[in-house]
Amino acid sequence: MKVFQLTKIFAIGALLLGIMLVPQSCGENDPDDYSLPNAHDFDYKVYWEWNETFLQIDRYARGYRPGPGPRALAYLGLSAYECVVSAIPENRSIADLYSGVNVPKADPNLEYYWPACINESYAYLMERFFPHMQNDPKFEVTNAFSLIEKTRAKLHGIYSQETTPEILERSEKFGREVAAAIYVWEQGDFIGHNAFLDPQPISYTPPSGPGLWQPTPPDFNRAMFPQWGQVRTFALKPDEMLCRPPITYGEHPASPFYSQALEVFSTVNTINNPPANDPVLQTWAANQRWAAIFWSDDILNLTFAPPPRLVAVLNQVAANEELDLAGCAEAYAKMGLALCDAGVALWHSKYVYNVERPITYIRRVVSQQHPDAANWLTILDARSVGGEYGITPAFPAYPSGHSGFGGAGGKILSSFFEYNASHPGTYTFTDLCHQLRTEFLGTPRVFTSFSQLGEENAYSRIPLGVHFRMDCEVGLEVGRLAAQRVLELPWKQ
């Protein structure tokens, strides 16, 4: 651990120096001036602890899929970054980019224990982003607020042994003040604030017509977050919110649209029934099912949601690389902002184009040529938590949310851990997110780059049966653009 007990050591050292040294005039013989610790002097663990806590709560958080999760991560990451940015010599605050943000500044003449600032910032905001989870009986780990307090108290106890009470109190107070200022600003985003309380508004009626989205079998759930495209973004510009149009709708077997639907239909059928006399195809089918289930994260109460999945990956890599606090502050802030902006742009485009899901098209159109398609189902299975088999997420298909989040997260990860002094090329990574799960196939998968990781996340939606290929291709574009705009923000001095 890089943290050292500077304050206590300095106090003792100063006393000894006062006894041993006589006053001297200023000059090269002066003892070295005491230098306040900066964020490079601390490790990644406060970020790891809080994001693991977020992932545990997110698994059970009603109304948090898919938009509110990455939005919360954005504000959590931004607040933590602003807590410690003055202790990162090469970086600058980005709060001044946003109208209405009034973040307090640390006193440059005082010492702060920077992990304690972040600890209080996360604790303050977590309770406010999950108010509906305070006493949720379905939250199986523990009461969400108890888990938040447990994490805060654990870290507070560690820090109380590593600095003085005065510095700890000052640091924690500052962390809460920054978080409170960020939360005041967050509440001004009226569409996004507390949107998790009404994720499927009964006031919304989807448009009807050929190729347009309608609730899908077997559960026929109402549309989720039809208003999410109006949520505040951090880096994307208004004219970048709408992706390019989907391919032209068509029902003729020779049309490109029909071909994309036929790909989904045939892929799922082969996964479910690979030819007994073809070992190559059997291996292919097994790998396709594995990838589809491995990346799904669709089911509430089963896993964390798809956007925080990229934070789960960042947690693993930050630990593997022993990222310092300064690196974490920037990495987690950029990841949160990119995932949030990607989600807003994706949902804006979804409800502009309103493209129907493969299951609807396959049952209605493909069944005219293939009668067995009339009752076709995806392989998305929610039965382990009391749901149904063969479900589809309740919102339009184009562009794919998973793909956008994979594109955004993959690009942010690459910007930190690839093509640099530590890793001159790409980064080989084993994703252990679901290695201990028994309800589904969570066997770790190996990736030779973060681009490959994001792309597999995207295209896994085809073998799962919930997306057309065009959804995945354009979703990746949207996510990568969101990440690029975040990376272009003026993070450095």
Q: pLDDT grade, residue 477 (50/70/90)? A: very high
Measured CA to CA, the distance from residue 342 to residue 477 in angstroms comes to 10
For 271-307, the pLDDT digits (tens) are 999 999 999 999 999 999 999 999 999 999 999 999 9
Q: pLDDT grade, residue 1 (50/70/90)? A: very low
- Percent pLDDT > 90 in the chain is 90
Higher pLDDT, 187 or 27: 187
Q: pLDDT grade, residue 143 (50/70/90)? A: confident
For 33-74, the pLDDT digits (tens) are 568 999 999 999 999 999 999 999 999 999 999 999 999 999
Per-residue pLDDT at 323? 98
CATH 1.10.606.20, domain 6-487, yes or no: yes
Q: pLDDT grade, residue 133 (50/70/90)? A: confident
For 396-417, the pLDDT digits (tens) are 999 999 999 999 999 999 999 9
Name residues whose C-beta falls within 8 Å of residue 159's C-beta, 6 or more positions apart in sequence.
113, 115, 116, 119, 168, 171
Phi-psi region for residue 378, left (φ > 0), alpha (ψ -120 to 50) or beta?
beta
Measured CA to CA, the distance from residue 463 to residue 454 in angstroms comes to 16
Task: Please compute the mean of the pLDDT values over residues 92-101 and round it to a whole number.
Answer: 97
Higher pLDDT, 18 or 237: 237
Residue-averaged pLDDT of the chain:
93
Q: Name the amino acid, one letter, at 406.
A: G
Nearest to 118 by CA among 310, 329, 350: 329
Please state which of the ranges 31-45, 237-251, 301-315, 347-361 shows the lowest mean pLDDT: 31-45
Task: Please compute the mean of the pLDDT values over residues 359-373 and round it to a whole number.
Answer: 98
Q: Kindly tell me if the per-residue pLDDT of 26 is higher than 70.
A: no
For the CA atoms of 448, 451, 452, 453, the dihedral, rounded to the nearest 10 degrees, stands at 90
Q: pLDDT grade, residue 12 (50/70/90)? A: very low
- Percent pLDDT > 70 in the chain is 91
Domain boundaries, the chain: 6-487
Name residues whose C-beta falls within 8 Å of residue 73's C-beta, 6 or more positions apart in sequence.
54, 307, 308, 311, 332, 335, 336, 339, 340
